[in-house]
Structure 1
């Protein structure tokens, strides 16, 4: 979510916002064309409130000066060969021989598209069409989509709202696949006509619960390299909603902190919601991150709850009015918010399986989790906490991966036991050279080293004064206590499958350097950071189970035509596509980076999009825009299959600022090739989209 800026919003946004004025605290505080409706519904106006992280960690200035002193000692004339080897090992990320050379999906970059354009724009020579849309039936053709007669029971049988994380799990034959998609949140103002009775309002709230969660959908096509179509009534089709039962795994399972009057064992939770990004594991399951759960509960606002942004105010959706578990002030439900904010694991190949919430991966506003297998066989998962001044985390499994685990039962337990770490970054430039503008320091880049600080080792708390379950339930407080580095909304964190380097999308943080908030630091070098940046991280010795890493900023985002302090890994800024607010990252088969954005309309005035970024050779850092999503929308869950000339994205919250009587988007039902238009209802439908080369 992009925050404060002095530029006025467009007239259309302002008109709608004025009608909703009592409900939109961020009205007048968002950047440019960023919608205050998105802030209200998606993250409960998090940027309107005080930053939850008020911890007094060691200042970055202290950490940086310590690092510079240590660096001088290590590299001085008296340093031994071992010290020199250590400095080289954990220093700036180095190119890897197996890296991409620019990818194999040819296209001419599109020009930036204005934020009011209601169209999905792709390069010349490419065509797009939706695979599946909100409200498309999964189980029976008789389930017809009609927002005026939609019920919760019907919504549970249809694709959910606001598509986010996406993967297409293909069968080796190339003609069948399983699609898995997250549904982050709902916008009832454009989904339904206004409720006229209490009963109708209650039903819309239950529909909202049914539209959250995840969907699993089977796909088919006649031959490889052709567009997919989804299969109604397929055996693997499944909906997971805000009322689906989940088991709880890991050290905090059964903890008193997770028990409620409905679940005195603390091991069975109903539902998942605000599911943002995710990851697909090597054993074929899908991980999903529960992100802005704080907006779904009323709570007392204890210090532990306030650290996550929980407050006593009525919620936006009013679920507490129809289900008492969403009012944590009610005796017996005080711990219900503690049962959300986890990484959940779903087996898309077993529709009878019970999904799992993994406490070993910590509780915070998970953007997602992505997994790699170390040479030792241990599983490593990287995670970002998507809020201003929050932290970067890593999990290392206790047990090792079994290749060929036929039923996946061993591998499905790997995330239940191990060690949890949080990152501390150290810069290698003098503090006075980090000016807050984004101007490069004298060594020509923002870079340094870092360490993974242990929170839990082999299931045992490493944080004084915290039990293991307290670390895992109140992970933010534990990370505060060990002095982790405050970052600018670390969202998607993914290892490159070809090189092992890890890429961290820091979306933005316009609060940095304001009031009493921390100022610029070398890994977060701009105050009032509107445009965000991408960090490239290299684990020491290419061992992801270790505790040392090197890092450098790959992209310091923005529009070079308007901001001289942008950086694109050294590539000439005048030759790149403008990019702002990186959100999700992905890789094609060659290891080329792809970045989707969320917030560009507010920061640089263009629609959000998908961008290709080569990581090696003379093209390193050359940002090239591949597509642009419609007005009000963000680009989510990119999947790149360059060998098939196919790209997939989830298009979330198109036409966000509309109302039932004044819709602002027709996406995707405005006549693109392959689009079904005979049942169009005159409003937007968040969708999963495929793009292919003609």
Structure 2
């Protein structure tokens, strides 16, 4: 069916998606297309000559190899934590002080889940799980009945959106809590029966399937279990945040000309939030959400405005390009054909209104959520807030793009920990003023063991709320075009820095560098022909680090100077080089590789009360023969680096969430896009999980120990 817009522009029926195979060795074509707009098929937006993390890691590895004094066989990666009597071994096996009682998820010696391709959630013996909420379940009172065969916009606006990434739980009382969930993206191929809806209808459904949901949950009879409150009259704080929701812009960029549009000449009120990926729960009980791959939703049928718009004279077209926004006819959603705000010719500033950190107060459904300009604009994976010893709030965030950077924000004002309403009101302003930084890493190639770390780092200031530290750019321009500003101060390029979280026990920062399969050169894996991270041939004394770019990802461990997150210096170690333990380049903090689970593409992380690191994965390569899942990793003591698979998610799904809650009794996790496998459609699904219908439904779950 073809319909027509009021001004005469035709709307085409849904264009079938080319059903290609696995992309880049891991994700399916469908995931690449709808999640990030096939970002890896395009050149890295960052074309600067600044240094890359691969080279800094290679320095440390080469140094370790030399210090060993003997040739290292392929795969014998020498880094901190390797046994052998050095100070590094002592640091790696130091006892970990417990911050809490250490419930079953923290202490239990479970049998790891074996690699599998099942269309199910698989847990260790002794554990169970239940589904809390699924795509299409009612969120607010008056939500119509859901059926993908008979959708209306009213249904989509009031029910649980498509896909579910970050999960936050804020307690209401002893028996109830508020769960806030991101809805990252839609996939029309899996959501709708063929020929059932027009392109116009599918576009509107997709726009409103994004956003967030706030859902009241209550304890089950089994300790650790939770269920959705189905009596919506008893859940007045439930909320569906969608394209109708007005967001208030805070910080110096609020009201700036770069944020002004035809429908919002004030530049302070933004409708909706897009591609919300990970997030964070603040010490004051609000929820942060990162707007990630927002660039893919914008298109133009005309001429891209040329600018210039920056004080430095950078044309607007160049600014678009640095954020991966380009004139293109390949956008499968074609939202710009139903709403002019997604048409760059009509609204050239609309992309500047996305790419922010969003803050939502789940306890106050009448309060407008915020977009915080002080935390910068880029492809935020999420944001984690901790309180520094001096009382300032510190927020870490990664720019999830190949070759982009890590950032930190330090508040100008101090956290008020009194727990009063007035204190909470004050704390909700902490992200509006302060200083934004970008990270620069340097590998330790000193030639001698002078400290138990692989490198050092510094946080380079970009701007405060009153003063820009980047020549030629104003405060507002630094915040709206943060990538441009960072390029000018020579930070370190990273391999898709996703979740960056602070361990509440040891106060270290853990960074998931998911992968970068497009960089590096492949060489045979043999001792006579090793390579460095940058793909350069080296002497046989250096180990093979990666044969094919960074296909399986790393985990960095960062230690702030004096354990103070407000300081501008830190040290770092390479904790994990992920992949198949039998592959020579993998490394697990020096732990015996024959005893660890295979792991690939670390995405999001969380911690239990003992400080164990839990890693959710996204994009396990087909050759590894396993679905994505969740893994527990001690970060200190004799088990440091012992990766153990705790659960796997259904085929085609990525493991999202995750959250350890309720004294280590509850593990919230969120399998999103189940069955998103190339060739799958709604009518010919590759998955039917959670097996309540004949089509897949992204859902939020909780795992717990059986009675």
TM-score by length of 1: 0.85
**Equivalent runs, 1:74-113 vs 2, <5 Å:** 98=97, 104-105=104-105, 106-113=108-115
**Equivalent residue of 1:163, what SS?**
coil
Aligned equivalent of 1:650, options 670, 673, 680: 670
Q: Deviations over 1:450-496 (max 9, x none)?
A: 10011013531101111111111111111111001001100000001
Cα–Cα, structure 1 residues 379 and 610, in superposed 2: closer, same or farther, change >3 Å? same
Aligned equivalent of 1:589, options 609, 620, 633: 609
Determine if contact 2:457/2:572 at 8 Å carries over to the other structure: yes
Shift of 1:24: 4.7
Q: Distance in 1 between matches of 2:430 and 2:95?
A: 29
Q: Distance in 1 between matches of 2:665 and 2:561?
A: 35
**Equivalent runs, 1:157-306 vs 2, <5 Å:** 157-173=158-174, 175-195=175-195, 200-221=198-219, 225-232=223-230, 233=232, 234-299=235-300, 300=304, 302-306=317-321
Q: Distance in 1 between matches of 2:593 and 2:190?
A: 39
Shift of 1:67: 11
Aligned equivalent of 1:569, options 589, 593, 598: 589
Q: Distance in 2 between matches of 1:594 and 1:412?
A: 28
Answer with 407-416 or 128-137: which moved more. Answer: 407-416
Determine if contact 1:93/1:538 at 8 Å carries over to the other structure: no
Residue equivalent to 1:421 = 437
Query: In the alignment, does 2:300 pair up with 1:323?
Result: no
Residue equivalent to 1:510 = 517
Q: Distance in 1 between matches of 2:52 and 2:38?
A: 27
Determine if contact 1:568/1:622 at 8 Å carries over to the other structure: yes
Aligned length: 625
Q: Deviations over 1:98-120 (max 9, x none)?
A: 367997422523333334x2111
Answer with 399-408 or 340-349: which moved more. Answer: 399-408
Aligned equivalent of 1:376, options 382, 390, 413: 390
**Equivalent residue of 1:206, what SS?**
helix
Aligned equivalent of 1:35, options 28, 49, 52: 28
Residue equivalent to 1:308 = 323
Cα–Cα, structure 1 residues 428 and 66, in superposed 2: closer, same or farther, change >3 Å? closer
Cα–Cα, structure 1 residues 428 and 644, in superposed 2: closer, same or farther, change >3 Å? closer
Cα–Cα, structure 1 residues 196 and 184, in superposed 2: closer, same or farther, change >3 Å? same
TM-score by length of 2: 0.83
Q: Distance in 2 between matches of 1:446 and 1:605?
A: 34
Answer with 296-305 or 572-581: which moved more. Answer: 296-305
Q: Distance in 2 between matches of 1:683 and 1:62?
A: 46
5+ residue gaps, structure 2, are 1-13, 62-86, 305-315, 523-532, 537-541
Q: Distance in 2 between matches of 1:480 and 1:47?
A: 20
Q: Distance in 2 between matches of 1:355 and 1:126?
A: 37
Residue equivalent to 1:352 = 366
Cα–Cα, structure 1 residues 218 and 108, in superposed 2: closer, same or farther, change >3 Å? same
Q: Distance in 2 between matches of 1:456 and 1:594?
A: 33
Residue equivalent to 1:545 = 566
Shift of 1:153: 1.2
CA root-mean-square deviation: 3.0
Cα–Cα, structure 1 residues 39 and 153, in superposed 2: closer, same or farther, change >3 Å? same
Shift of 1:195: 3.7
Shift of 1:376: 1.0
Cα–Cα, structure 1 residues 172 and 298, in superposed 2: closer, same or farther, change >3 Å? same
**Equivalent residue of 2:190, what SS?**
helix
Shift of 1:97: 5.5
**Equivalent residue of 1:461, what SS?**
coil
Cα–Cα, structure 1 residues 107 and 536, in superposed 2: closer, same or farther, change >3 Å? same
5+ residue gaps, structure 1, are 1-19, 69-87, 434-440, 670-676
Q: Distance in 1 between matches of 2:595 and 2:565?
A: 34
Q: Distance in 2 between matches of 1:623 and 1:62?
A: 26
Q: Distance in 1 between matches of 2:395 and 2:52?
A: 27
Shift of 1:426: 0.4
Cα–Cα, structure 1 residues 326 and 492, in superposed 2: closer, same or farther, change >3 Å? same
Shift of 1:156: 1.1
Shift of 1:625: 0.5
Determine if contact 1:536/1:554 at 8 Å carries over to the other structure: yes
Cα–Cα, structure 1 residues 487 and 603, in superposed 2: closer, same or farther, change >3 Å? farther
Determine if contact 2:656/2:671 at 8 Å carries over to the other structure: yes
Residue equivalent to 1:16 = none
